[in-house]
Each structure stands twice: as structure tokens, then as C-alpha cells.
Amino acid sequence: MAHRPKRTFRQRAADSSDSDGAEESPAEPGVPREVAAPGSAEEGPPSGGGRARVAGRPHRVRGPCGRGRVWASSRRAKEAAPRADEPPQSRVLDVSTDEEDEIHHSSESKDDQGLSSDSSSSLGEKELSSTVKIPDAAFIQAARRKRELARAQDDYISLDVEHTSTVSGMKRESEDDPESEPDDHEKRIPFTLKPQTFRQRMAEESISRNEETSEESQEDEKQDIWERQQMRKAVKIIEERNIDLSRGSGSSKVKKFDTSISFTPVNLEIIKKQLNTRLTLLQETHRSHLREYEKYVQDVKSSKSTIQNLESSSNQALNCKFYKSMKIYVENLIDCLNEKIINIQEIESSMHALLLKQAMTFMKRRQDELKHESTYLQQLSRKDETSTSGNLAVDEKTQWILEEIESRRTKRRQARMLSGNCNHQEGTSSDDELPSAEMIDFQKSQGDILQKQKKVFEDVHDDFCNIQNILLKFQQWREKFPDSYYEAFISLCIPKLLNPLVRVQLIDWNPLKLDSTGLKEMPWFKSVEEFMDSSVEDSKKESSSDKKILSTIINKTIIPRLTDFVEFLWDPLSTSQTTSLITHCRVILEEHSICENEVSKSKQDLLKSIVSRMKKAVEDDVFIPLYPKSAVENKTSPHSKFQERQFWSGLKLFHNILLWNGLLTDDTLQELGLGKLLNRYLIIALLNATPGPDVVKKCNQVAACLPEKWFENSATRTSIPQLENFIQFLLQSAQKLSRSEFRDKVEEIILILVKIKALNQAESFIGEHHLDHLKSLIKKD
């Protein structure tokens, strides 16, 4: 389909200009008219754009637009009026001159005619045939000389338009005659622009107007071409359709019946016979279809009955159905746990980070307070040695820390007085109080974490998040198909399936608190115990496999979490934390071990972490300073109080270490408690103290911390080697007390020696100092 050019309104302006020319022109465009000879005065002038041809033959002249023709006719009418009285030859010359002038103007306005010819090409060519009388050469030369004489008489250059045009026309005629060309000195030099006639100015205006409308005319021509193409296509389509219709109507015509063909005669009997035959065939087909339908119906019924019989009588179908349901259930359970395990880990990490932040706060505060207080006392000792006058300059931070320490101690003393605990020793407090604002923030953060814990399985059905319901599914499997249950090693799979669910219940579990929930009271523990108790005991192997489920859960889930508490959160200086931790560890490590002689890797890791943490506490947290006796003789002096607090703090750690008796090996405890702590710190502090009731009291506390199991099976009358330094200190103290006013305290020291099985040393001391009344103490033992 041809491209349709843009429709504009420019064609209307061109049409209006053509119509104007048509109104002014006496003849229609495209109609030829004859032009009379220039000699006849009555006939009208020739066309302005016409060009005469030699030999008087009729010729065709392409005329300009209508408006151009109007301009040419009006100009000639003005020239003919003043020349009416001239002789005929002169008139003929004037006409020819006028024609030459017109030819000159037409050549000057060549562009105008070229552009106007494009706009008026629709008008066609005009044929003009006329007879023109051409003057001879003598007449032309005479007229030229006459004009030259007339110009010679004038001493100025005429500005007359008609004269200028006439001279220009004569110059064009003389161009063909080289003899008539004037000499160089006879040529006139134009000093001004050549004046334009009215016709030339109009021609210039038409040129500019034609340039603007040239593109418009091209677009209009494209528009007309496109419309004509569309019209031809439409006409062609209609013609083709009419042809098809005519062909179809011709082919659909019914052929005329050929009467020459003869047919066999037909009567009613023949028709009836054929109908009966057709009916018989249809009836037979129908009966065969009915037989097939009945057969299919019977087959369907027999198949259904066979399916029902098989389903009701076959155990394999039931087994397949159950196994399929279990498979789908386990897959859904695993998908659920895989989706929730990420949230569980995030909540566990949040709770662990919160507790770790609190534990690090207590530890850092204790170490900072110990450092600042020790520095303050050292400065105070140096001041006492140099001079007794003047005040000690203490920085603001140290002063603030000392005030905080004393404020917390005062609050603890008041709390002990209200509770009636008067035997408490300074330095044995855990000092784990938090400011009220920090405690509120801690409780708020902990509450937010517990809220997230409750929302973990809020969108999950109980069959997939309740441990009791999950174990019930496997219990049904174990009761219905025990062989396949044990062959599938379900006892090894159950701990892995229950691991995320147990971890959710352990998020709020803190084994370092005395009021924490015990493992036996937890819902998951009770559900697993019930599942194990209801196990089928057909053989020892089968019963032992399910009995390991609880111990496997403990080793894979509980012990790793407990190890994290020991490594990062446990403070060995806290008796309450140590007591609670030991309680949980005894339940885990003793009552629910995998096998009596089997040691799991998780258990070994837990014990190693416990020993490592206590070693770190001995190295970092035990500090018993030694001051001159003059500084510690006064029990109310800051030095004496600080030394006493630090000794009782070290003795508290000694007691907490020995609480692990039964869980850790004796060698390990003796190395930590006796070798690293008692002999290295406590004995040195006792040796620096003045013998008296306080020293005896401290020795009694040391002996009370020692496990009795270490001295039950003593084959000899000597104590364990690690206590040799302690025994020697007891003998020295007893010897000094026997010569002092505290002689009655010697009996207590002898009892201590008897308790730690230092019988030989006790007998020798009694014999040397003639303390026969104390021999009964040894005999009683």
C-alpha cells in the first residue's frame, strides 16, 4: 500500500491564484488563440511570453500563468496610446521593439517563468498561430540610427523605464550583429542599479512565493497519487470479488437433467425390501453393542470387587499405606525443622550474647576495682613511710570506684543483718549486684528474647512441634512393625529429629542459677523417658537401642550447651553458680551416661573446659597482698581489711574447686586446689599472719574444704604429699600457741592434723611438748 502523504491546505492557495488568472484572462487556459500581425491596430496584442518564428509559420507558445498574462496586456495598452499618430512602419517597429523588450523581460524573469510554469502546468500548452511581418535590415538600421541621434542630443542618462527597456531590447538585437557593436568609448557605464519594472517586482515576489509553495505542491501531488492508488485498489478488489461471485454462481448452477438416461423401474416392494434389510443390519449392530456394554459392566464390577477383596485381605496394602504415611510425615517434619532451625539459632545467639555481656561486666568490674583499690593502698603505704602529714591525692576515677565498692558492701552488710547471718566473712560475697537501671534493661532484653522463643512454633501444628506427639508416631511404628522399626535404626534418628525442639526449651535454661529448672523436670525429658519405658523388649539388642535415646540427646544437645556456659559465663569465684553447675553436671555425667565404661567426646570436652576455667580463675582472680606487720597489726586499718578480704576470697575459690570432687579426678583437684592455690597463695598469707585465733580459724576452714574421701583409705599414717606444707605450718603454729596465751587452740590444731591423717606428726608434737591429755584424740581416730 502506497504511503499516504500528509494532507495540507496548500493546494487551496494555488487553486485560488489560478482562478484569479482565469478571471482576468479573456480565454480559458489551454485553449489556443491566434495573434494578429503587429500591423493591425484593432486586434489585441500578442501573449506576453510569446516568441515569433521565421517564415511566418504558425507556432506554439507556452504562456505563463494567468496573472502574468494580465500584466503583459496592460503594459502594451499603455505603450500603444502615445504612438497612434506614427506612420505604419514606425508602428511596426514599435511593436517589434516592444516584443524585443518583452523578450528581454522574459529572459530576465526566467526563474520566475520556470517556477510559475510548475504551478501552471495543469493549464496545458497554448497554441498560437499568427503571421508576423518582420522588417528588413535597412529599416532596422534606420531606426537604430534615429535612436542613437536622439540619445546623442541628450546630455543625461534617461531613467525612463520604457526607454531603458527599448534600449536593452535593441542591444539584444545588435548582439547578433557584430558590426553594430559600439566601441569601448561609446559604451555607457551604469553607475546605479538598473530600475525594475512593476512586472519584474511582481515576478520576484512570485519567485519567493513559489519557493515556499514548491514543497507544498510536491506533497499535494503525493497526496493525489496516494488517493488515486487507493481508489484503483478499491476498484480492483470490487472487480475481483464480482468475478469470483460470477464464477461461483456459474459453478453452482444445477446441471440439467439428462432425459436420455434410462433407469430401472422402482416399485414399493423393492423399497420395502431394502428398508427391511437396513433395519435388520442396524438391529444386529445394536445387539452386539449391548453385549459389549454388558461385558464391560461386568468387568468393572469384578475389578472393583477384586480391589475390595485385596484391600481387606492383604496386609501388604496396609503396610504400604502406613509406610507411605510415615514417609510423608517424616519429610514434612524435616522440612519444618529445617525452616525453623535458623530462627532457633538466632534466638540462642541473642540469649548467649546477653548473658555473656552481663558476665563480662561483673568480671571487668571486679578486676578494675581490685586494681584501683590495690593501687590506692600502695600509695597510702608509701605516704605512711615518707611522712605522716598531708592528704593523699587520689584521682576522681579511683575515688568514685572506692565509693561504689563501699556502697555495695554496706548494702550487703545490711541485708545479712536482716537475714541473721552473722558468721559471714568479708570477701566471700560474689559481688554480682547490678544497678537498677542496668537490671531493668537486662530483664527487658531477656523478656523480648523469650517472646521470640514462644513465637517460633506458633504457626506449626502440634504433630510437628510437640515432642510427645512426634514420639507417639514412632511408638505406633514400633508397636505395629517392630522388625522394620529396629532395622531402620530409628533410635539413632530420633535424637537428631528432637534436637531443634529440645534446644527451644533450653533457651531459657541457665544452669548457673540455683533456681533453674532441672533436666528431669523439663517436658522433653519426661516425654523421652516415657517413650523409652514403653519400648518393646523382645530382645536385649532392641531394648538397649531405645534406652540410648536419652543419653544420646544429652551428649549431643545438653552437654555442648553446658560447655558453652562453663567456658564463657561461669564465674568460679561464685559459690552459687558453682553449686548449681555441679548439680546439673552430676545429673548429666553420672546418672545418664551412655555406658558405664564409655566416655564420650562431649563429656571429655566439658571436663576439660571446667579445669581450664578454674586454672584461669586461679591465675587472674587470686591476689593476696603482703604488707608489713605494722600495717596489718591494726585490724581496722585499710591494709588489714583488704588483705583479709583477699584471703577469704582465695579460700572461697579453694572451696569451690574442691566441690568438684567426684566429677573431676583426684589428681586434677589436688593439682589445682593444693598445688596451685593452697601452697602458692594461702599458705604464704598464713605465714605472714600473727599466730592466734584467726589463724586457727583459717586453718580449720582449709581443712574443712578438703574432701574426706582423700583420707579414708590411707594405708599409712601420713597425709597426701601436697599437704606437707600445710602440715608444717600447723606444727609451727601449734608450737607458737603453746608458749602464748592461746594454749587452748593447740588442741584444735591437733584435731586438724588428725583429720588430714597426719598422725605421725601429731604424735611426735604431743610427745615433744608433753601434751599427754591430747593422746586420746589420736587413739579415738
Average pLDDT rounded to a whole number, residues 68-72: 35
Contact in structure between 351 and 448 (CB atoms under 8 Å): no
Minimum mean pLDDT range among 90-94, 127-131, 242-246: 90-94
What is the full DSSP assignment across 520-537? GGSHHHHHHHHHHHT---
Q: What does the DSSP 8-state code read for residue 59?
A: E
Contact in structure between 618 and 573 (CB atoms under 8 Å): no
- pLDDT above 90: residue 243: no
Closest to 686 in 3D by CA, of 699, 705, 700: 699
What is the full DSSP assignment across 441-508? HHHHHHHHHHHHHHTTTTTS-HHHH-HHHHHHHHHHHHHH-HHHHHHTTHHHHHHHHHHHHHHHHTTT
Average pLDDT rounded to a whole number, residues 318-327: 87
Mean per-residue pLDDT over the chain, rounded: 75
More confidently predicted of 121 and 382: 382
CA–CA distance, 98 with 83 (Å, rounded to integer) = 12
Average pLDDT rounded to a whole number, residues 411-440: 76
Confidence of residue 12 (pLDDT cuts 50, 70, 90): very low
Reported as a single tens digit per residue, the pLDDT across 332-371 is 999 999 999 999 999 999 999 999 999 999 889 888 888 8
Reported as a single tens digit per residue, the pLDDT across 626-645 is 888 878 788 888 888 888 88
Name the one residue in this structure whose C-alpha cell is 523439663.
522
- The per-residue pLDDT for 670 is 92
3-state secondary structure of 126: strand
- The per-residue pLDDT for 495 is 93
CA–CA distance, 245 with 249 (Å, rounded to integer) = 6
Partnered with residue 61 across adjacent β-strands are 126
Minimum mean pLDDT range among 76-80, 138-142, 315-319, 725-729: 76-80
Q: What does the DSSP 8-state code read for residue 771?
A: -
Q: Give the contacts of 441 (CB within 8 A, at least 6 positions apart).
A: none
Minimum mean pLDDT range among 229-243, 321-335, 386-400, 491-505: 386-400
3-state secondary structure of 661: strand
More confidently predicted of 171 and 522: 522
% the chain with pLDDT above 70: 68
- The per-residue pLDDT for 174 is 44
Q: What does the DSSP 8-state code read for residue 634?
A: S
Average pLDDT rounded to a whole number, residues 604-616: 94
649-685: b or e for each residue (b if 16 or more CB lie within 10 Å)? bbbbbbbbbbbbbebbeeebbbebbbebbbbebbbeb
Closest to 394 in 3D by CA, of 382, 405, 409, 379: 379
Average pLDDT rounded to a whole number, residues 606-635: 89
Q: What does the DSSP 8-state code read for residue 636?
A: T
Q: Is the dihedral of CA 687, 693, 698, 703 positive or negative?
A: positive
Residues in the chain: 781
Amino acid, single-letter form, for residue 318: L
- pLDDT above 70: residue 441: yes
Contact in structure between 557 and 341 (CB atoms under 8 Å): no
Distance of CA 19 to the CA centre of its chain: 75
Question: Other CB atoms closer than 10 Å to residue 503's CB: what's the count?
Answer: 20
3-state secondary structure of 61: strand
- pLDDT above 80: residue 45: no
Contact in structure between 402 and 373 (CB atoms under 8 Å): yes
H or E element that contains 736: helix 724-738
CA–CA distance, 67 with 21 (Å, rounded to integer) = 5
Contact in structure between 642 and 369 (CB atoms under 8 Å): no
CA–CA distance, 524 with 465 (Å, rounded to integer) = 11
Closest to 175 in 3D by CA, of 107, 95, 94, 112: 107
How much is the pTM?
A: 0.59
Q: Give the contacts of 24 (CB within 8 A, at least 6 positions apart).
A: 66, 67, 69, 70
Confidence of residue 377 (pLDDT cuts 50, 70, 90): confident
Contact in structure between 133 and 95 (CB atoms under 8 Å): no
Reported as a single tens digit per residue, the pLDDT across 708-717 is 888 876 566 7
CA atoms within 13 A on the CB side of 157: 11
Q: Which three cell numbers stand for residue 406?
A: 563501699
CA–CA distance, 351 with 477 (Å, rounded to integer) = 38
H or E element that contains 240: helix 198-251
Closest to 363 in 3D by CA, of 429, 445, 413, 430: 430
Strands 59-61 and 126-128: antiparallel
Q: Give the contacts of 693 (CB within 8 A, at least 6 positions apart).
A: 742, 745
- pLDDT above 90: residue 33: no
Q: What does the DSSP 8-state code read for residue 741?
A: S
- pLDDT above 90: residue 611: yes
Minimum mean pLDDT range among 248-252, 470-474, 495-499: 248-252
Contact in structure between 573 and 653 (CB atoms under 8 Å): yes
Minimum mean pLDDT range among 390-394, 436-440, 634-638, 766-770: 390-394
Cα angle value 556/557/562 (rounded, 5°)? 115
- The per-residue pLDDT for 714 is 57
CA–CA distance, 675 with 701 (Å, rounded to integer) = 17
Average pLDDT rounded to a whole number, residues 363-380: 85
- pLDDT above 90: residue 453: yes
152-181: b or e for each residue (b if 16 or more CB lie within 10 Å)? eeeeeeeeebbebbbbbbbeebeeeeeeee
- pLDDT above 50: residue 538: no
CA–CA distance, 372 with 133 (Å, rounded to integer) = 143
More confidently predicted of 187 and 205: 205
Confidence of residue 406 (pLDDT cuts 50, 70, 90): confident
Contact in structure between 582 and 663 (CB atoms under 8 Å): yes
- pLDDT above 80: residue 754: yes
- The per-residue pLDDT for 132 is 57
